[in-house]
Structure 1
Amino acid sequence: MTSDTRVVVIGAGLAGTRLARRLGELGTPALLVGEEEHAPYNRVLLADVLAGRYAPEVISLPAPEHLVRARVVRIDRARRELHCADGSVIAYGTLVLATGSNPVLPPLRGLLDGDRQELPAGVHAFRTLDDCLRLAGAVREGVRAVVVGGGLLGVSAARALSVRGAHVVLAQQAERLMERQLDPPASRLLHRHLGDLGVEIHTETRVRGVRTLGGAVHSVEMADGYALGTDLVVLACGVRPRVGLAQDAGLAVRKGILVDDELRTSDPHIRAIGDCAEHAGTVYGLAAPALEQADVLAGLIAPGTGLPGGPAARYTGTRALTRLTLSGPAVLDLAAFGETDPEPGDDTVQLADAVSGTYRKVVVRDGRLVGGVLVGALGTVGVLARAWEEAEPLPADAPLLHLLTNDGGS
């Protein structure tokens, strides 16, 4: 393969690895460039590694045939070359950016003050396998841990640390846990589940800073001035698309790298997929859209092969379902999709069982399922997700309650 035809993928995460593997299956081998020392892995399962449920090697992804370890520092679009930190140069014909996202570091007092470029000892981001392994090495029975952020990642981290025997405080600035995905009743069940495991939860509270002693964290300062002693701080404040390479190369970027329905950037020789890509105004930051984009792009790059994609393939967006399983002494399974807050005129059906801690809700608008949230007893999630993804009118003769009680063989 010449440099004029070679496909190079930057980023060995879920999206990049899936694309490289798909292209290899289609007879169009791609060179995957990853900067982490580990074999490609499933980032979604990092909390399970932290909890001790899986060994790190269990979450490894099937590696593509052509993988190199290098950190790309510059894209030369005129020459179609990648310049790496080690001085090497990689030529490409088609370049795919699957650079993922970086953790958001909140503007906390004492976090990166002055000339300090690294987090204080005991303060951890939670984004990579190295982050996970460092945090796992620091956890022991009885250690005090503060998790900053009560979204999907923060909840997963708090649960995993609690399973490992840590005394966990979860600080959430919003009024409820996972407020982007869950409605108030579902969030209350999640709150109760974590509380039953010993996690101390503070909502509508803000961490103002971290205090260190001898270069290591010893407390966090709350907005009201109260200092909470701790041995560990986990920052779970969201992620930001990793777009530095694209910006430096002059590609069009807003929140993410702008792509069209063929996942092309503003340079026709460069595509983008996964957490770094922005399609039709949306940066998904979820696994399902990243995998769908990889499959579509594989078909576009190597058309006529029978896999998703092909000459007429387009990426038109993903209707992504958020699902989280919190395993351990007590299992909690939850799922959320679409619009969970009804608008005037919508039909809503809710079923709740306080004893078993289960909750189901669907929102129907103009005869179509537009959203839902389920906590526990997820037998219906398959049929609900299909009805939502297909966006077809619901049967007029089927009561809405049927949606919550028929598992559709799922």
Structure 2
Amino acid sequence: MTSDERVVVIGSGLAGVRLARRLGELGIPVTLIGEEEHPPYNRVLLAEVLAGRYRPEVIALPAPAEPVRGRVTGIDRAARTVTRADGTVTGYGRLVLATGSNPVLPPLRGLFTAGRELPAGVHAFRTLDDCLNLSAAVRPGVRTVVIGGGLLGVSAARALAARGARVVLAQQSERLMERRLDPAASALVERYLTGLGVEVHTECRVRDVRSPDGTVRSVELADGYALDADLVVLACGVRPRTGLARAAGLDVDRGVVVDDRLRTSDPHIHAVGDCAQHAGTVYGLAAPALEQADALAALLAGDPRARYTGTRSLTRLTLAGAGGPFDLAAFGETEGRPGDDVVRLADATRGTYRKVVVREDRLVGGVLVGDLGTVGALARAWEGAEPLPSPGGPLLHLLTTDGGC
């Protein structure tokens, strides 16, 4: 098989594996290059491995073939080759960057030891190795500080509490998951975590990691208060991995810039998943990554109609604890603007909450906590962007029935 015909995919995460599998089904020769030593896995389920609910092999992804192992260190666009760290050179007809993202490591004093290594007991939470190392360190009663109260931090705090750790969650902003949830939904998430034994601190900025002997002992807050810690988990978000693209001279903004054909500034190179920036948006979520992979597979197979025009993505999270599962979903704009119609239904006893935002007779967003029976109907109304029949009755019907789901 000549290199002119081969698609080379760099990255064996959700997007890369999905694309390679689709191309294999279409009979298109593909080489998947993965940097991690583990077989491809579903990163979305790492918190379940940390919680002890799943073994690592349960979250494995079905791949068309075992990925080629190795870290790609360079792209030669003129020769259409990629070079791995061991010196191996692979030719390509089309190259796909599915390099994903790296954890954001906050600029805290004392975070790095000599050689830019994290102190013992301080863990990022992005890869399966991170998860396994953290899992090995957790034991009942261990004092743990999770820094970051977004989706990843909330998931990590719940998982660690399930393992019996004494968890403090430190969130810099005024509420949990503030980018995805409205204040009422955030409050319910905090109440649930508190019920699991997690101590939640919002508007709380960590400024120092103390590890006098190379092992973390405490973290210091901006107000001078110190939290004793045997473990520290960094859950401060992710940043697209764009180093390869930048070094190759491709257009890079926050992510690798792509068009509706998922092409970079080099027409022979594409990008999908967490590393890609389409129409100004870096999604960093599973659903857009999978949609991009499917669209690119169709494009590479020669479908003239195939395009990627963006994803209207719904965020869904299930937290499982001793008190039973806690479900939430959010989509679109969860905060209304002046003139919007906002409908809320709350049941404090059951801990459920439903809210939708309607603008000019169209559903533009919503958030549901505790009972997701209506999420399918609401998501369809939102994704279709069709005018609602009228405010009031039909909308209330969507909020209070399962819509046939």
Fold conserved (TM > 0.5)?
yes
The alpha-carbon distance between structure 1 residues 159 and 66, as it changes in their structure 2 partners (threshold 3 A), is closer
Q: Map 1:181-330 onto structure 2 (within 5 A).
A: 181-303=180-302, 310-329=303-322, 330=324
Runs of 5+ consecutive residues of structure 1 not aligned to the other structure: 304-309
Aligned residue for 1:307? none
Aligned match of 1:385: 379
Moved over 3 A (4+): none
Match of 1:87 in 2: 87
Gapped regions of structure 2 (runs ≥ 5): none
What letter matches 1:236 in structure 2?
A: A
Displacement of 1:403? 1.7
Residue-by-residue CA offset, 1:256-306 (whole Å, 9 max, x unaligned): 000000000000100000000000000000000000000000000013xxx
Asked if the contact 2:104–2:236 (Cα under 8 Å) also holds between the matched residues in 1, the reply is yes
Q: 2:397 pairs with 395, 402, 406, which one?
A: 402
* 1:108 and 2:108 correspond: yes
Q: What amino acid maps onto 1:300 in structure 2?
A: L
The question of whether the paired residues in 1 share the 8 Å contact of 2:39 and 2:66 is answered with no
Structure 2 Cα separation of the partners of residues 346 and 283 of structure 1: 27
Question: Match for 2:373: what amino acid?
Answer: G
Segment of structure 1 superposing worse, 399-408 or 98-107: 399-408
Name the TM-score, length of structure 1 as normaliser.
0.97
For the 8 Å contact 1:31–1:66, the answer to whether it is kept is no
* Superposition deviation, residue 400 in structure 1: 2.1
Q: What do residues 52-88 of structure 1 show as CA deviations (whole Å, max 9, x unaligned)? A: 1110000000012262001000001111111110111
Quote the residue 1:372 is aligned against. 366
Whole-Å Cα distance in 2 between the matches of residues 281 and 158 of structure 1?
31
Task: Tell me the SS of whatever aligns to 1:261.
Answer: coil
Q: Which residue of 2 aligns with 1:306?
A: none
State the 1:22 CA deviation: 0.3
Opposite residue 118 of structure 2, the aligned amino acid is L
Does residue 46 of structure 1 match 2:39? no
Matched residue, 1:176:
175
CA contact (8 A) 1:262 1:315 kept: yes
Q: Deviations over 1:144-177 (max 9, x none)?
A: 0000000000000000000000000000000000
Mapped to 1, the partners of 2:140 and 2:374 lie a distance apart of 38
> Matched residue of 2:217: which SS?
strand
Q: Which of 96-105 and 206-215 deviates more?
A: 206-215
Question: How many Å separate the matches in 1 of 2:187 and 2:353?
Answer: 10
Residue identity opposite 1:241 in structure 2: P
Query: What residue identity is the alignment partner of 2:309?
Result: T
So what's the TM-score if we normalise by structure 2? 0.98
Q: Output aligned runs, 1:153-172, within 5 Å.
A: 153-172=152-171
1:406 maps to amino acid: T
User: 1:213: Cα distance to partner?
Assistant: 3.1
Q: 2: CA distance between counterparts of 1:246 and 1:281?
A: 17
Rounded to whole Å, the distance in 2 between the matches of 1:64 and 1:243 is: 26
Whether the aligned pair in 2 keeps the contact of 1:207 and 1:220 (CA below 8 Å) is yes
**CA displacement at 1:380 relative to structure 2:** 0.3
Percentage of identical aligned residues: 75
Aligned residues: 403
Q: Which moved more, 1:367-376 or 1:392-401?
A: 392-401
Residues 5, 29 of structure 2: 8 Å contact kept: no
Superimposed CA distance per residue, residues 90-149 of structure 1 (whole angstroms, 9 cap, x where no aligned partner): 111100000000000000000125x43211100000000000000000000100000000
Question: 1-side partners of 2:66 and 2:160: how far apart?
Answer: 36
